[in-house]
Each structure stands twice: as structure tokens, then as C-alpha cells.
Structure 1
């Protein structure tokens, strides 16, 4: 019973993260935060699934490493964008100016 509640809560958090990612189009920081939330919910779902099946947890550690690299890359892009344009608002710049 409790394991199905954990799976359901992980799936609900994944769906909420996707909804925020799709609807957030004003600032880049909100989009990056929703991507990290999606990665966290996928990590939670994978770790519960692998723990239930009795498998190796090395794959989950590789996934966590790639999620951290994705977050660092997103922050580097955010810093580069803020330095070149002054803010992370999507309405303030055009792709033709870059």
C-alpha cells in the first residue's frame, strides 16, 4: 500500500514538473528550475523502482551525475545570457541579435 503511494506521488510530481516546464516561458531561471524538478522526480521514481526490483544502484548514480552536469550547463548558459543581455527575460532579446 505505501509503496504505491510513493509511486503515485512521484508520478504526480513528474506531471506537475512537466506542466510548469511547458507553461513557464517568461524567465529562463524558472524553466531551469522546472527541469531540475523533473530530474529529481525521475531520480526518485528510478531509485524506488530499482530498490523494489532488487537491481544495482549504479545506474541511478550515473543518472544523478548526468542530472548534475545538466544543471551546471544550464547555470552556465544562464550566467552567459545575463552577462550579455542584462537579464533572463525572454521578451527582452531576440535570437537575431546574438
Structure 2
């Protein structure tokens, strides 16, 4: 059983911070945005696992993983739809109002 300390949360918080910085810095390509969102979700999942390991509660983490997988599948399907209709995933090549 792992004891909850703030030092155990540091890698998760670092992952979330790096995900946010890559999300802010890569606004032009949809695939980079989706990858940074998945990295943020991975950091949040790691934080959940560290915080819930002392309570031995795994149902919430499995529910969160299910939602993250659905979000990833929805994002990839939107990416495929945009690439098929517009030719690439660059935001400069199409208007948001046309999609």
C-alpha cells in the first residue's frame, strides 16, 4: 500500500503541466492537440491512482479510463473526418464555421 504524499503527486503534476504547455503551443494541428489532451488525461489518471491507492478504490479509475478511451476515439474520428473533407489537419487551411 502506497502512502499519499505530495512527492508522489509531483510526476503527475509535471505531466499535466507539460500537456498544457504543449496544448497551448501547438494550436495549428489537430493531431498535436489530441496528443496533448491524451497526455493531460494520462497525468490526471496517474494522479487518481496515487490518491486512490491508499483507499484501494479502483472503480473510479476504471470509469475514468473508459471516458478517456471514448474521448480519444471521438477525437480520432473527428480527425479522420476533417482530413477526408479538407485534406489535412492544419487549422489555417479551413474555417471553423464551415465544419
Q: Which runs of 5+ in 1 are unaligned?
A: none
Question: TM-score, normalized by length of structure 2?
Answer: 0.89
Task: Give deviations 1:18-52, integer Å, cap 9, x for gaps.
Answer: 11112211100000000000000000100110002
Q: Name stretches of at least 5 consecutive residues in structure 2 with no aligned partner.
A: none
If asked which structure has higher relative contact order (CA below 8 Å, sep 6+), I would say: 2
Structure 1's consecutive aligned runs of 4 or more residues displaced over 6 angstroms after TM superposition are none
CA–CA distance in structure 2, aligned partners of residues 56 and 14 of structure 1: 22
- Number of matched residues? 97
Partner of 1:94: 95
Deviation at 1:95, TM superposition (A): 2.5
Which residue matches 1:58? 59
CA–CA distance in 1 between the matches of 2:47 and 2:96?
Answer: 37
Q: C-alpha offsets along residues 37-80 of structure 1, whole Å, 9 cap, x if unaligned? A: 0000000100110002x142100100000000000000000000
Cα RMSD of the aligned pairs, angstroms, is 1.8
Instruction: Find the counterpart in structure 1 of residue 9 from structure 2.
Output: 7
SS at 1:87 equivalent: coil
